Amino acid sequence: MTTNPIREQERWLLQECISLDRGDKLIRRYWNVVHLTIQKTFVLKGMLFIQEDVEDLRNEVFLRLFDNNCKKLRQYKADRGLSLAGWIRMIAAQTVIMYIRKKDRAGRLGSNDMISLDKSEEETGNVPAQAMEALIRRLDARERLLQVAETVRRLPHMRRLILELHLWGGLSLQDIAFLTNKTLGNIYTIRCRAMAQLKELMMEA
C-alpha cells in the first residue's frame, strides 16, 4: 500500500502538537494558509477589514487550535476525507464568521477610533496648545476619512470592493487579484477607473 507523503507529514505534525506539545512546525506550515483564508472569508462576506483584523484573527485561529490541550486538532479525523489543511481552513473561516457576528466589532472606523468630544471640551483648560492642535488635526482627518468611506460606498460593487481592500485592507493588487480570481491587469484597470470615479464624486460633494 502506497503511503501518501502529505498525509504522513500531517500525521507527524499532529503528533508533535498533541503528544509532544510542540506546535512551531504546524504554525510555520499553515501560517500563510490561515492568513489567506481569513482575507478570503472577509471578501466573500463583503466585509471591510484592515490588516490588524487579519493579524489578530490569525493569532486567534492558532490559539483555538492549541487551546484545551489541542482540542480542535484532536477533533480532526483524516479518515473523513478532509485534509489537515482543509480542517484548519474551515476553523479559520469559522473564526472570521464569529468575529463578524459580534455586535461590538470595531474596524478602522469603529468605536476604538472615536474621540469623546464632551470629554475633550472638559479638559481643554489643561491641554497644551500643541496637543489641542493635534487633536483637531485628528478630528479633521477622521472627518475626511469618513467622507471618503461614504463616497466609496456609492461606487459599483467591484470598484468599491477593490478600493476597500486596497485602501483599508492594505492588500496589494496582486493579493486582490488572487482573492477575487481576476488577472492583475484587470484589477489594475478597475482600480484606476474606481479612483477616477471617486475623485469625480468627491469634487461634486
List of domains in the chain: 5-101 (1.10.1740), 111-204 (1.10.10.10)
Task: Provide the pLDDT for residue 67.
Answer: 81
Q: Specify whether the CB–CB gap between 40 and 102 falls below 8 A.
A: no
DSSP 123: T
Which stretches of 19-115 are DSSP H helices?
24-44, 51-74, 84-101
Longest dimension (CA), the chain: 80
Task: Provide the pLDDT for residue 92.
Answer: 92
C-alpha cell at 49: 477589514
Q: Specify whether the CB–CB gap between 193 and 159 falls below 8 A.
A: yes
Task: Provide the pLDDT for residue 38.
Answer: 92
| pLDDT by residue, tens only, the chain of 205 residues | 455 677 777 777 777 777 766 777 788 888 888 998 998 888 888 777 788 888 889 888 988 888 888 888 888 877 776 788 888 888 899 899 888 887 444 444 344 443 333 344 444 344 456 655 665 565 566 667 677 878 888 899 888 888 877 777 667 888 888 877 888 899 899 999 999 998 888 887 6
Amino acid residing at 197: Q
Residue 23 CB-density burial (10 A; 0-12 exposed, 13-18 middle, 19+ buried): middle
Contacts of 51 (CB under 8 A, 6+ apart): 169, 170
Letter string b/e over residues 123-143, b meaning 16 or more CB atoms within 10 A of that residue's CB? eeeeeeeeeeeebeeeeeeee
Task: Provide the pLDDT for residue 125.
Answer: 44
C-alpha cell at 85: 489543511
* Polymer length of the chain: 205
Q: How far apart are CA 41 and CA 36, in angstroms?
A: 8
